[in-house]
A and B are shown apart, each in its own frame.
Chain A
Amino acid sequence: MLEPPPRDEHGRVIPHDHHEILDEHRLIRGISVHHIVRQNGPQRLASSLYQTSTRGEPPGMSADHEPWMIADGIDLSARYQSGRWLGSVALNVGFLRSLGLLVGYNPRDDNQYHCEVWGKITGGLTNKIQHHAVWVVAIPGIALTR
């Protein structure tokens, strides 16, 4: 279990770099069917998979803490091939931080492993993150990048 994140007077998580989320850790991001681009060329993952949400205070990119899930005995293959997800990719925490992004903990009622990546992720960084990501639960026939 990670130490609770810092919160403001309204209870909202303050963007932070969580000291227990180490650079060598990975975050796992689930992939929805709507993240698959099917029109032009081979099917691939959408660039929008690696953007921060336009919602949230402040907005961030959601992902789950891999080491904690493994420690809790979570079957990652089952988790990321059920519900809304068809598969998943992993992002290295140290890599994300090297881009100037914050990687912190933001638990949700339905997902205690939920972390958040905060910072401005626009075109250039989206591309870098997209080419950095690796499969955890691969989706057959779908390329990671163009």
Chain B
Amino acid sequence: MTVVSLDEARRNKGIWAKEGVDVAMPRLITERGVPWLPKVWARIEELMSLDPDWDGYNGRPVSIATAVFALDILGAACGGDSPRPDIMPGSGGDLLIEWENGPKLLQVHVRAPNDVCVYRRDDASDLQEEELIRNDISRVAEWLEWLVGDGGDARAAAEG
């Protein structure tokens, strides 16, 4: 799996438009053929369209900037055989990306652009690590490789 910088991902990205206008998929991602990307993008779009107070506690929809940054991360860290993540909203317009493979868990909490917390855990060992990152997504790619390293159930989700 080739890792590229976020800057490179952005240079190849399709045009991002404001609400009401279609958003073009990042060309770099479609060229890689990540099979689940359209579904994940649909999920992210759903979370960007949440009503105010969607959670009953003044929750906000996922912000456009956060969504784009999350997509940048996925596009730069994932390849054609990467497993499909779960995408969940936070209350403040943030977004949580999560992968699971047996006892292994990887979470990428995109709080805002350049404000990301990456967490991994292995319930089969004492491994538990957390790291704050800005735009260096190499840790995400590295830990994603670790997650699927044993070729377990996570690969079953790669079909999308």
Surface stretch bound by A, among B20-28, B52-60, B68-76, B144-152: B52-60
Known A53-B91, A54-B111, A124-B128; contact A30-B57, beta-carbon cutoff 8 A: yes
Q: Which of under 10, 10 to 19, 20 to 34, or 35 or more describes the interface residues of B?
A: 35 or more
B47 within 8 A of A: yes
Let me know if B107 and A32 touch, CB within 8 A. Answer: no
Known A37-B86, A48-B96; contact A32-B59, beta-carbon cutoff 8 A: yes
User: Cα distance A124–B128 when bound, in Å?
Assistant: 7
Let me know if B89 and A48 touch, CB within 8 A. Answer: yes
Surface stretch bound by B, among A2-10, A17-25, A55-63, A134-142: A55-63
Please report the total number of A residues contacting B with Cβ < 8 Å: 29
User: Cα distance A47–B111 when bound, in Å?
Assistant: 14
- Smallest Cβ distance from A115 to chain B, in angstroms? 11
B98 within 8 A of A: yes
Find B55's partner among A32, A54, A114, A122 (CB 8 Å cutoff).
A32
Let me know if A46 and B119 touch, CB within 8 A. Answer: no
A-binding residues in B (CB < 8 A): 39, 43, 47, 50, 53-60, 83-84, 86-94, 96, 98, 100, 105, 107, 109, 111-112, 117, 119-121, 128, 130, 157
